[in-house]
Amino acid sequence: MKVPFVSFLPMEKELDKELRSAFERVFSRSWYIEGAEDQEFEKAFAEFCSVRFCVGVGNGLDALMLALKALDIGKGDEVIVPSNTYIATALAVTYVGALPVFVEPDIKTFNIDPSKIENAITAKTRAIMPVHLYGQPCDMDPIIKIAKEHGLYVVEDCAQAHGAKYKGRVIGSFGDAAGFSFYPGKNLGALGDAGATVTNNEDLANVIRALGNYGSDYKYHHIYLGNNSRLDEMQAAFLSAKLPHLAKMNEERRKIALKYLEGINNKQIVLPFVPDYAEPVWHIFGIRCDRRAELEKYLNDNGVGTNKHYPIPIHLQECYKDLGYVEGDFPIAEVISKTELSLPMYYGMTEHEIDHVINTVNSFK
């Protein structure tokens, strides 16, 4: 039996008609950038996130970068990011000209440890970027409290957590702005690259929209040095077709996660921890194992696809060597990079497949 790490097939099969009719609708209208589809999806997604404004952009990296740019964060500024995240979080900071300052995660939740944030704050700090990694919400109350006390912005990286809840409230509405990715593999994925920034601040939303449209407020009038980063009509139409199914699809991920949490019983495996405040959406089901390479090989040899998130922490990446970090600077991120292994998790996994994953993990000696 083979269980892939991820498969879009069950979702594509179920939504085949809706996705094809979304394509037909846009194609027959022959209007591809900035139009009715974009507006409609933005409205629906803002509602889903319980915020007032949503601005569709080209991808998740831009969603974060444009939010920072709109908050006037740039050269000479510092932004706090977790040491354990996808590189896009740090790149968004780098691309506006600011310095990413890393803060270690809590080894149990994988997310930024709020008790370590204050130590990283300097006179140059302008913002904190909590990342709801693997679909697990960050502990937002202490983060918001620290931000308020120090006059900092909060920009949430929600790229892996569409619909996750913190103390019953959906993430994306806690900070000044939040960036989402609709990369195909995300919980809500387009059929290509896409992203969105959400906010309750109308002025900020307008600036973000202008920044993503060549810095233009109306045609051929440019107030900022902008980017080209817009949500195209085709992707917006696909996203509108998929959004009504997101809650159900997240719910299914929860059921799979629950089966893993209840069924996996192997002393060598550390299972993910879910704090009381969290309703995760399980973008990734990450376990930890000191003998990861052997476990990975064992699972793969027995038909269980796996992945690692992320094998090299950002501070040790080649592209960031100028920051001058060395091995040992962020030991928790480093331990996660060496021990984390992600199990198959996708909408449409069968009972049989879930059981095969559980039994294989349990039989690893």
Ligand X SMILES: *Cc1c(COP(=O)(O)O)cnc(C)c1O
Are 172 and 156 in contact by the 8 Å Cβ rule? The answer is yes
Contacting residue, 88, 143, 190, 198, with ligand X by CB under 6 A: 88
C-alpha–C-alpha distance, residues 204 and 181, integer Å: 19
Identity of the residue, 127 or 264, whose beta carbon is nearer to ligand X in the bound complex: 127
Identity of the residue, 89 or 109, whose beta carbon is nearer to ligand X in the bound complex: 89
Identity of the residue, 66 or 357, whose beta carbon is nearer to ligand X in the bound complex: 66
What residues numbered 260-279 form the site for ligand X, per CB under 6 A? Answer: none
84 makes contact with ligand X (CB under 6 A): no
345 makes contact with ligand X (CB under 6 A): no
Give the tokens for residue 80: 């706090």
Least distance to ligand X from the beta carbon of 283, Å? 8
101-to-95, 118, 320 alpha-carbon distances in Å: 14, 12, 12
Give the tokens for residue 277: 């405040």
61 makes contact with ligand X (CB under 6 A): yes
DSSP 8-state secondary structure symbol assigned to residue 88:
H
Contacting residue, 83, 85, 111, 173, with ligand X by CB under 6 A: 85
Least distance to ligand X from the beta carbon of 111, Å? 11
Q: Which of 13, 116, 186, 219 is catalytic?
A: 186
- Would residue 75 show up in a list of annotated catalytic residues for this protein? no
Least distance to ligand X from the beta carbon of 61, Å? 4
What residues numbered 196-235 form the site for ligand X, per CB under 6 A? Answer: none
Least distance to ligand X from the beta carbon of 234, Å? 16
Least distance to ligand X from the beta carbon of 160, Å? 5
187 makes contact with ligand X (CB under 6 A): no
By CB under 6 A, the count of residues binding ligand X is 15
The full length of the chain comes to 365
C-alpha–C-alpha distance, residues 73 and 235, integer Å: 29
131 makes contact with ligand X (CB under 6 A): yes
89 makes contact with ligand X (CB under 6 A): yes
Specify the stretch interacting with ligand X by CB under 6 A; choose among 6-14, 86-94, 299-307, 339-347: 86-94
Kindly write out the interface string for residues 146-175 of this chain, putting x where it contacts ligand X by CB under 6 A and - elsewhere: -----------x-xx---------------
Burial 136-163 (b: 16+ CB within 10 A, else e): bbbbbeebbebbeeeebbbbbbbbbbbb
| DSSP secondary structure, 223-245, as one string | SS---B---BHHHHHHHHHHGGG
Determine the number of helices (DSSP H) and then strands (DSSP E) in the chain. Answer: 12, 14
313 makes contact with ligand X (CB under 6 A): no
Q: Smallest Cα–Cα separation from 45: which of 165, 195, 232?
A: 195
Identity of the residue, 92 or 295, whose beta carbon is nearer to ligand X in the bound complex: 92
C-alpha–C-alpha distance, residues 42 and 237, integer Å: 11
Backbone dihedral region for residue 220 (phi beyond 0: left; psi -120 to 50: alpha; all else: beta): left
C-alpha–C-alpha distance, residues 349 and 327, integer Å: 38
Contacting residue, 41, 86, 95, 346, with ligand X by CB under 6 A: 86
Contacting residue, 181, 227, 235, 339, with ligand X by CB under 6 A: 181
C-alpha–C-alpha distance, residues 222 and 272, integer Å: 48
Binding site for ligand X (CB under 6 A): 59-61, 85-86, 88-89, 131, 157, 159-160, 181, 183, 193, 195
Instruction: Report, as residue numbers or ranges, the catalytic residues.
Output: 186
